[in-house]
Structure formats: structure tokens, C-alpha cells
Chain A
Amino acid sequence: MTVSTANTARLPADLVVAPQLPDLLPSVKVRRGVLGFLRNHPTVAIGCTLLLCLILVGIFAPYLGTVDPTALAPAKRTRAPSADFWFGTDALGRDIYSRVLYGARVSLTVGLSVALCASLAGLAIGLVSGFVRWADGIVMRFMDGLMSIPPILLAVALMALTRGSVGNVILAITVAEIPRVSRLVRGVVLSLREQPYVDAAVASGTRTPMIILRHILPNTVAPMLVQATYICASAMIVESILSFIGAGTPPTIPSWGNIMAEGRALWQVKPFIVFFPAAFLSVTVLAVNLLGDGLRDALDPRMAKGL
């Protein structure tokens, strides 16, 4: 009934107007584009920022006040963190700060490579399994068999068969991760195949390769991306474990696992040797997992509209 007097003059006298009710919530600023997406999904933003920082650290390790990470200095063994040696030195007098920064290269290389390779291989196997009826049973039982072996054990066994190198570490962890990815892809493919838009594409004469390329693959990207982050995190941990038990990256290459393995004997007296690589590993894995969780929520099919 709050009709302003200026207007009432030309209104019918008996006009019934609904009561004006206030808005209950403050208006929401609609955010668009990549920045808006990051603002709406802070976990993704935090994960992304952390991970980006670590990648930059890995790339620019030589320019961040580091010295040769393999240079021995027996005179300066096991120094505590100080202005000269920010993270201290290890049992052979090597600068831990430099070693940890260079170690980021190994961990990130392994993590990202495994995520990429395992995703691609899993995608291929999952697609075959989801599309070729007769192959499905055989492939999936083989994958079940692989999955029954703990991934670390499998990686250790594979490493035992080969020479220790970063490439072989990546290969071993990838093999151990493939079954999980292919299971996921197979599940996604099977459910996508049931989608009416795939049926409609079949009815409108689209050939199977095009169906896969145009209708199936693009819709597997979201779940794959989320899975890839988890693989990346798990691969970095497995790499450290392999290095720690001496079955991974050769000791000449500084990796977080190697640094921790070498500091193990001095853990009680010189904890900082183990602490810094462990902290970096935790932060990296946390960043990747945050990214993964955030992406999972953001790419939820009900919310996936904007992407």
C-alpha cells in the first residue's frame, strides 16, 4: 500500500497494491571469467597458487640463492639453519636449502608426468573397455589383478627389475596407477554411453570414432582432471617413499625422498635435515589435493554449467 503520492493521482482509487517486501539477502556480485571462478572456489585458488609457487621454485631453483646441491663440504657438516645455510647442511656438508629447491624439480616432474601418463593410458584402456564389449571382461579382470597388488610393492618390484633413474620411477608409478584411472574412465564412459544425446548422435548417423571424439571424450575431461590431481599427489608420495627406501631416484640426484633417507640416521640429533624436505613434500601434496577437491566441487555435474 506504499504508493507514492505523485503517482496516486492518476491511479484508480480502489487499486490494490501488494505490500512491498524487502530483499532478505544482500545482492550477490556475479563473477565471471577465470578470476570469478577462482573467487567462487577459493580452494582451487589456494591450491593453484601454492602449486604455481612450487613449480616456479623448481624452475628457477638456480637463481634463488642456491649453490650446487651436490657440492660436498666436509668441513661444514650438519650445520644448523643460519644466515649462511638457511636450512642447514647435511652429513656431507651439502646445503639443504639448495637440495630441497632442486628436489622440487624431481617431485614435481614425477608427479606431473605420472598424472599425465597414467591419465592418457587409463583413458585409452577405459575407452576400449567401455566401448568394446568382449574386451571389457578380460581387461577389467586384468586390472583387478593389478589392483590387488599394493601400488608401492608393485613399484618396488618394477624398480628392482630396472636401473634407478627418474624415468624408471615415473614408469613404475604410472603402471601402478593405471588400473584406478581406467576403472574410472570405464565407469564414466559406460554412463555417458547411456546419455540420450549419444543415442541422438547415433540416430543422426554419427560414426563411432566421432561419437567418442565429440560426445564421450570432452565429457570425461572433468572427472579425469580431478582424478589426475589425486594421482599427482599420490605419485609424489610414492616417489619419496621409493627414494627413502633406496629403490627410487639414484642418490646422486637430490630428491626429497633421498634427502630424508640420508638424514634418517641423524633424525634425533639433527632433525632439520629431515624436517625441511618433509615440510615441502607435505605442502606440495596439500596444494595438489586442495586443487583436486576444489575442482571436484566446482566441476560437479550439477554445477558444471559454467565450464
Chain B
Amino acid sequence: MALLDVQNLQTHFRTPEGVNRAVDGVSFHVDEGETLAIVGESGCGKSVTSMSLMRLIPEPPGKIAGSIRFQGKNLLQLSEHEMRAIRGNDISMIFQEPMTSLNPVLTVGRQIGETLRMHQGLDKQAALARAVEMLALVGIPEPARRVREYPHQLSGGMRQRVMIAIALACNPKLLIADEPTTALDVTIQAQILQLMLDLKRRVGAAIVLITHDLGVVAEIAERVMVMYAGRKVEEAPVAELFRSPRHPYTQGLLGALPRLGSSLTGAARRLAEIPGQVPSLKQRIEGCVFVGRCPIATDLCREFAPGLEEKTPRHFTACHYASKGAAAA
């Protein structure tokens, strides 16, 4: 059985300009110890998906439907009280902005200890000792001194390490990382990615990585799911997806990416473009969500939304025209 099994997740919001169908019928699963990346551009619903998993969507103005089964339990049917026992304990989350996600008036040690005392009933001494351990685990030098410091005394990279320490403190089974390295500089990002790869081996938690950076995806994900305009358009093992993307959107995305090394290979001087804009989610989209920007769209696509189809083993694509079997260009 999968650790996390999401079926037909829908998250809609009421806004003065209309109902925003931020996530509209997304299904996926995460196995134990696996790393699934959810990629897509801003507004594709990837962050709303992660917030929905944690039930962090305020209702109203939001509304969630579908099912989110974690270890067999449907999280959408739990009470807020039961949910609180899961958040930060079985499922924890790392956010993009380490400065605003940490409480500025509490020491780092207190913040790590807080979750431990709440979820695992450790006393003050034990929680502090474990906090020092956690800081050492995430590679912070002089952990015994650092536990007594406040977030503003730490650099951006250090704060993200602390965030990871808090998230891992209770040995979660599932870690949701929402753009964990987006706010960081590239040399610091390299440090954090290295750390995440290292911890993945040592801690063994499953990871749902939300990101827009295909480089980061290639670095640490095992399976990738591509989202567009609130729907899932493609899912495949990471190597397969980058080698032979089948959905026109994924193909366009990979083609539009400037590559490091282009001056060496003498690659084309022009990037491929995906023409047009992401459609408004405030109107109901009957057919395929990508139809307005797709080079191969037909009337069929405008009328019927394509379902996910397993075109080759473990490679799912929601496109009427993605060929089966041998990979397309």
C-alpha cells in the first residue's frame, strides 16, 4: 500500500472575481521512502496541493474535495484535533521562506524542542538534547551554541537548515518541501540539496518536493509529476520524463529551458517558446487545459479533457495525441 494516496483532489477558492479552481482533480501516490517532485509554473496549483495535503487551506474561502489517504486514513475526514497530531509529527513541511517560517522571538532550540515536547512528550532537558542532535544532523557547526541563538542571528542557509531540523525532529514518514531552495543563492542551494540527498539516505522519509526548478528535480527526485492549470498532465520516473517527455506542455517546458553548456555544444541560438498565457482558472475548462497553447490541439481536445493514460510502463500522460509505446521526439 502506498504511504500517501491522493484521489481526485480538488481545491477551490471563492474570490471576489469568481471561483478559482486552483487544483481540479489531481490523483497521485507516494510510496514509503520515495521522493516525488511536483513541478509546474506559478499558478499551476502545486503549492495549493501541498497545503491541501496538510489541510492548511482555510475553509472558507477554500473548499477541498476528493480523498487524501495517509497510511490508509483519509485525512479529509479527520477532526482538526486529530489532524494536529499528524502535522509536524507524521507529516511535516519545509517552506520556501526560512525567515518568515521561524518565530523571531524564540531560540532555535525552543522551536525544535516545541514539536518534540508536543508530539513525543519529551521533557525540557531531553528536548534540548535532541535539538542539539538535530542541528548536528543538518550540518550546523557548534550545535550546542547555536541552539541558544535566535533566527536573526543565522544566515539564510542556516535558517533553512534549522527548518529542516524542525521538520525532521519527530522522524516524519512524509516530508513536504515547498520550494525549499528557491530563496537561496546557488552556492547555498547546492549545500542544502547536498544535505537533503544525504538525509534522504539516513532518515528514510518519503519526500514530496514542490518546485518550479527542473534542475532541482533532476537532482533529487525519483518520480516527477507535472502540473498545469490545476491538473496533472504527466507523471513518470525522473530519467524517463527528461529523456522522453510525452505531453506537449512538458516538451515545451524542457525546450524553453536555457541549458548550461549551450556555448560548448553550439546549441540553437533561440529558445523554444510556449506561446500565449496560462488560462484563467476562474472559468470552468471543459476540454484539455493546455489546448490554447498546444501546437497539436484539435477539436477533440477542446471538447474532452484527456484522462491520464499509461503510455509506457509507469509513464502517465494526459494527452489524446501522445503516442503509445516508443517515445515521441
Contact = CB atoms under 8 A, between A and B. Distances in A.
Contacts of A16: 306-309, 320
B25 A19 contact: yes
B294 to A, nearest CB: 15
A24 B284 CA distance: 12
B18 interface: yes
A7 B308 CA distance: 20
B8 interface: yes
B94 interface: no
Given A23-B12, A28-B15, A31-B16, A18 B306 contact: yes
Given A18-B25, A18-B318, A21-B10, A28 B305 contact: no
A42 to B, nearest CB: 13
Contacts of B14: 25, 28
A83 B320 CA distance: 81
A16 B321 CA distance: 11
A24 B318 contact: no
B228 to A, nearest CB: 13
A23 B307 contact: no
A19 B307 contact: yes
Interface in B293-329: 300, 303-309, 318, 320
Interface in B1-38: 8, 10, 12-19, 21, 24-25
Contacts of B307: 1, 16-19
A30 B17 CA distance: 5
B63 A25 contact: yes
Nearest to B324: A14
B305 A17 contact: yes
Contacts of A30: 16-18
Contacts of A18: 25, 231, 304-308, 318
Interface in A163-182: none
A24 B16 contact: no
B65 interface: yes
B306 A17 contact: yes
Contacts of B306: 16-18
A30 B14 CA distance: 11
Interface residues of B, number: 28
Contacts of B305: 17-18
A1 B65 CA distance: 19
A21 B16 contact: no
Interface residues of A, number: 19
A27 interface: yes
A274 to B, nearest CB: 43
A15 to B, nearest CB: 7
Contacts of A31: 16
A3 interface: yes
Contacts of B25: 18-19, 21
A121 to B, nearest CB: 36
Given A3-B304, A15-B304, A15-B320, A21 B18 contact: no
A1 B25 CA distance: 14
Contacts of A24: 10, 12, 19, 63-65
Nearest to A26: B19
B18 A23 contact: no
Contacts of A208: none
A282 interface: no
A210 to B, nearest CB: 33
Nearest to A7: B303
Contacts of A17: 304-307
B320 A23 contact: no
Contacts of A3: 304
A18 B231 CA distance: 10
A1 B64 CA distance: 22
A284 to B, nearest CB: 29
A27 B20 CA distance: 10
Contacts of A23: 12, 19, 21, 284
B9 to A, nearest CB: 10
A297 B268 CA distance: 50
Nearest to B288: A18
B17 A25 contact: no
Nearest to B283: A27
A27 B304 contact: no
A206 interface: no
A26 B309 CA distance: 31
Interface string A1-12: 101000100010
A3 B305 CA distance: 11
A21 B8 contact: yes
Interface in B214-240: 231
Nearest to A21: B25
A27 B17 contact: no
B86 to A, nearest CB: 23
Contacts of B65: 21, 24
Given A21-B10, A25-B13, A27-B18, 11 more contacts: A11-B304, A16-B306, A16-B308, A16-B309, A17-B304, A18-B308, A23-B21, A24-B10, A24-B12, A27-B19, A28-B17
A-B pairs, 5 with minimum CB distance: A16-B307, A18-B305, A18-B307, A24-B63, A24-B12
25 contacts: A1-B307, A15-B300, A16-B309, A17-B307, A18-B25, A18-B231, A18-B308, A19-B8, A19-B25, A19-B307, A21-B10, A21-B24, A21-B65, A23-B19, A24-B65, A25-B12, A25-B14, A25-B63, A26-B19, A27-B18, A27-B19, A28-B17, A28-B18, A30-B17, A31-B16
Interface of B: 8, 10, 12-19, 21, 24-25, 63-65, 231, 284, 300, 303-309, 318, 320
